[in-house]
Structure 1
Amino acid sequence: MSALIATPNTAMAVANPWSLVPPLGNLDAYISAANRLPMLTLEEEQEFARKFKNDNDLEAAGKLVLSHLRLVVSVSRQYLGYGLPHGDLIQEGNVGLMKAVKRFDPDQGVRLVSYALHWIKAEIHEYILKNWRMVKVATTKAQRKLFFNLRSMKQRFKSDDAAADLGTHRETLNPEQIDAMARELKVKPEEVIEMETRLSGGDVLLDPSPSDDGEDAFGPIAYLTDTNHEPVAMIEARQRDVLATDGIATALNSLDARSRRIVEERWLKVNDDNSGGMTLHDLAAEYGVSAERIRQIEVAAMKKMKTALAAYA
């Protein structure tokens, strides 16, 4: 883009101001170049803003953006404590700056720097909330307010504790500090506690990758998985229930009376004292045969029932 940007104090012009911005990959050089770009006077800002608003002059919009890149750099430094790349913060702030230029009305009597500040912070806030953790920690308006104020307010409370010589710094807020923060931010104390808990936690992989030595890593998926409502498990449980009721009844009906009584006494009967039914010797004495014969009848009856159950299933 071939453009001319007039400096505030001289009639000299900078041809193609984009040439002052270095190639990608060198953040320090970019910041240095952004700080060297000339700022616009009120008259120049009004002129370029009207050209863009009335005539859709993209060259004028580019001049407005370029002259405020240093503002984005300055604002982005305030959010370095969230552990995200400075370059990404600047990039998102530049998106907010361009949105501000697009919506800027020069007839409102406000300088672009004041109007753009909100849009720059809004884009940076949204980027931080989406990328600070794998799981989004703030969704409501109150949660967003807490997210961006909790850390600074905790630091202030720690400073107050130190000034009052109250001993070691607390990592968590006490009830008085929670109430004070809730009043200042106009939120509920429960929301302050919830956000502090979210910020103090960390992301945990549900299913961690195996370690370098090939051993499977233990993760929450090992104990959080609910198999009770897994479709296959539910079908299998239903089939077991049917076999344990109607299936067993059908299999018992396939036996003669003696075999059925032996199976019921040996496997299905439970007395009031939770003891089982008759023993082999008890049944042998009743039927006038040996205990071994009762065992043989039992084995044959169980095989017949197994066949009947397989056919029923």
Structure 2
Amino acid sequence: MKNKQTNTPYIYTYVHHKNEHDLCRMEMRSFFGFDTQLNYLMSPIRVDPSRSPFIEDRLEVIYEAESISELKEMIKDMKINASTYKVYCFNRMDLGEIKKIPHSERRQVERELGLIIDGEPDLDNPEAVYGLVTLNNRWYFGKYTKSVSVWSEHVHKPNSYSTALNTRVARAIANIAVPSVNGIRAIDPCCGIGTVVVEALSMGIDIAGRDINPSVCVGARENIAYFNLEGTITNGPISEVSEHYDVCIIDLPYNLYTHITREEQFDIIKHARRIADKCIFVTIETIDDLVEEAGFRITDRCITKKHLFVRQILLCE
């Protein structure tokens, strides 16, 4: 799951809830190095769309043209490495200021291009899917990938509690922490019932979980096993972690129950600085001064809301 930079442009479309706007943009910045207020972006960086809870579609651009007729000329000699295929136009929603194309018009252009390709069309179970989209008076055609909402299955884990991060937020946080998986070791030393750990493991991230509460550790292990994932959850405080990691993810909302003091927060943050080069902090309180005093520099941030809770998400290095 390494995100590769290529000479091929990729087009991604986005959908998110209103209260996820900032989190979505922070994930964009982590994956691509920039964000946009539009609901699509173009980048040479290849990201599996199923990693993100916000990405809907990805188009790996093969041809770009000013008109459908020009595009037809380009694809008529295209050779495909599949026995069956279909063409899908994903202007089914407004993309920025570009209005969606009505259903009948989308089907018409799909048929026109599909009949030109040398192969066997199959609208139900094609071996290959080609995508088509128009943006800013240009047409783009290429290999299409639809996002699969893997995270939605993880909502139904056997152990949970009401103030835990929801799976969409947890998945985005894992992506912000580890945008490219290869060679990165991560730890969640206050993992609770393992919401972030489950999302990270499902994306192939090498992450260890840990919590000071032994019964919570049992619940986290059960959640991991329930989804047939393999991961380690150890019991103990962050102060006893001796290994060094590339990145650390720490969610601090448990102070709702334990009334954790500022001194205890600072102790956790100091140990995070000791065990990792980079850390994501999730907090319902402002901890900028503690983070900076521990030697971190806040390089990005956003807020996300869950009912009455407003969480701050800080990326620190």
Bigger share in helix: 1
TM-score by length of 1: 0.21
TM-score by length of 2: 0.20
